[in-house]
Chain A
Amino acid sequence: MRIFISTHIKAPDDVVLHQKLLQELKALGVSIITNLDMKKGEFESSGFGGLDAVVIDGAADVAEVGYILAIALANKRPVLYLLPKGTLIDASVEALTKNADVRRLLRIIFYTSDTLILKIKQFLQYLDQNIGRESFSIKYTLRLSPRLDRYLTWRAGKVKKNKANFLRDWVNDLMQSDEEYKKRLE
């Protein structure tokens, strides 16, 4: 899973929280890009289209927040928009939630410093569930021996599927029954 986190550092406590968040998410196998890394010029142009989700700290008093939210939604990425408990939501963000397409993608959650990591983990778990229709957009080159190909052709034919669908369904069944995988984000 690859996510973009837009955050801001105002106080020393924020640094500690940010580092803890990154450590925990990386330990879960999540690949993270943050706006703070971006300023170091680390990334080549792949853009928001290649992300699984975007997490935005809406409390940051910077113009970039509006832009990151806008471009993430334009790229149809799921967005977790975080606000510190007791903060008023920006009127322009609130107006967005009236749009049905946006509502499907945007989750606005209030947090405290104690619950921030938990809220993000819950969002990732939510994404990990089967949300709507998946598109099979990742392409692989799979090399097989003639012997394995003969078997795959025979087995897929037996259940009246093409080889690609047979393999997809097989991997999906494997994932559904993998308890260790399901618990990895907890």
Chain B
Amino acid sequence: MAQRKKIGLIFASGSLLSIKGNKSIFFVDQEKDIEQWLSEVPEVRLIAEIQTYFLQGEGEQFELASIERILEILSRESANHDGFVVLVRGEQMIRAAAAVEFMLQGFGKPVIFTGSRYSPQAIAYQDIRKIVKMGGLGLRSNLINAAQIAVSEDFPATAIMYGNKIMKPTHAAVNDFQAMNLYRSVDDDYLGKIDFGISLSRKKIPVAPAASLRTQFAPGVFFTESMYLENNAAFAGKPGKGKEPILVLKLRQNETVPLERLEQLKARYRTVVLFNEYYVLDHTGVSILSRLTWPAAEMKVRWAHTVYPDRVEFEQALSRDVIRESIQV
């Protein structure tokens, strides 16, 4: 066999495995569970030497701080591994992976996200076989495929590996919660696919400049999907003396913000960003963000706010296609 490579395996939820012939489950809730967990997937050590990093167990809430901890480990341990596999549970995976795409531009090594789709609390014993039959606990194969991609030559990309598809996180969306492929790429363009091996499309990896790694998000970005909820944290109370930095308001298609409401928002926030996946109608004095998925929009705004405190530079960054995150029609 070829010389062994090294992978950093980060546990940040998403570790639920079916074991003992699908009669039981096992997951990492504390650091001491990792050894037994790895003994349940001994095949993964065939691919590379594995060094593990425990960030959080299945019982903990996955928050923005969890993503920052992933960024911090990747940044700190970059030189020690050929690539990384990050386990995150299904519902948070796109956000976390999109954050890595923006915040660790020019990272230069594969960072492959995968993980289980279910929380252990959501699995009853009598459902295990049914879920496995539907392909729902396929972490074992996903992990092995992710590990193999993480040691691939010339694939310095952040990607999501799930089912038989490898995709760019900023283009990923939940496909079908029951299907083998939990995610799809919204433009039907994939970084690779699995059949009897892994085929990677290296030409689709964005060329990033030399590493400028960010591991902490600047505070002060608010996201909301409704402009009418008065008790929404984004609108509650009267504006203070200093303006809050940024509000990102998700609009429905062809929705406009009434002038009076727009003025209220501009009085409270330094920058108001209006977002829709496809198109935002013209509004005066605000930033517009479209042709992005919602998780990609969230992470693009957080990244731009972190890197460009200056409002003009921030708005310029939002208008650029920074990491090929825009969905081309």
Contacts and interface: CB of A to CB of B under 8 A. Distances in A.
Interface of A: 4, 33, 35, 38, 41, 43-48, 58, 61-71, 73-75, 90, 92-93, 95-96, 99, 102
B42 A95 contact: yes
Contacts of B195: 38, 43-47
A141 B46 CA distance: 41
Contact of A96 (B46, B164, B194, B198): B46
Contact of A67 (B39, B47, B193): B47
A45 B164 contact: yes
A48 B196 contact: yes
A182 B141 CA distance: 34
A95 B45 contact: yes
Interface stretch (B29-37, B119-127, B144-152, B257-265): B144-152
> Most chain-B Cβ atoms within 10 A of its Cβ — which of A4, A35, A46, A63?
A63
The bracket for how many chain B residues form the interface is: 20 to 34
Nearest to B164: A45
Given A67-B144, A93-B46, 16 more contacts: A35-B196, A43-B196, A47-B196, A62-B1, A63-B148, A63-B151, A64-B197, A66-B1, A66-B47, A70-B148, A71-B144, A71-B145, A74-B43, A74-B141, A75-B141, A96-B42
Interface string B74-89: 0000000000000000
B43 A38 contact: no
A11 B299 CA distance: 52
B168 interface: no
B43 A73 contact: yes
Interface in B18-52: 39, 41-47
A72 B194 CA distance: 13
Interface string B176-214: 000000000000000001111111000000000000000
Given A62-B2, A63-B2, A70 B196 contact: no
Interface string B266-283: 000000000000000000
B196 A74 contact: no
B140 interface: yes
A134 B41 CA distance: 24
Contact of B164 (A47, A58, A61, A75): A47
A97 to B, nearest CB: 10
Contacts of A95: 42, 45
Majority-rule SS of B interface residues? mixed
A65 B47 CA distance: 9
Contacts of B44: 70
A56 to B, nearest CB: 11
Contacts of A61: 1-2
Contacts of A46: 195
> Most chain-A Cβ atoms within 10 A of its Cβ — which of B4, B47, B147?
B47
B1 A38 contact: no
B43 A33 contact: no
Contacts of B198: 67
> Most chain-A Cβ atoms within 10 A of its Cβ — which of B1, B5, B141?
B1
Contacts of A33: 196
In the A-B complex, list the 7 residue pairs whose CB atoms are closest, starting with the nearest: A70-B43, A66-B46, A74-B140, A45-B195, A67-B148, A63-B2, A70-B46
Given A47-B164, A74-B141, A99-B39, A69 B196 contact: no
Nearest to B41: A74
A95 B45 CA distance: 9
Contacts of A47: 164, 194-196
Contacts of A96: 42-43, 45-46
Nearest to A63: B2
B144 A74 contact: yes
Contacts of B47: 63, 66-67, 70
A67 B196 CA distance: 10
A67 to B, nearest CB: 4
A114 B296 CA distance: 58
Contacts of A74: 41, 43, 140-141, 144
Contacts of B1: 58, 61-63, 65-66, 90, 92
10 contacts: A35-B197, A63-B1, A63-B47, A63-B151, A66-B46, A69-B43, A70-B43, A71-B148, A75-B141, A92-B4
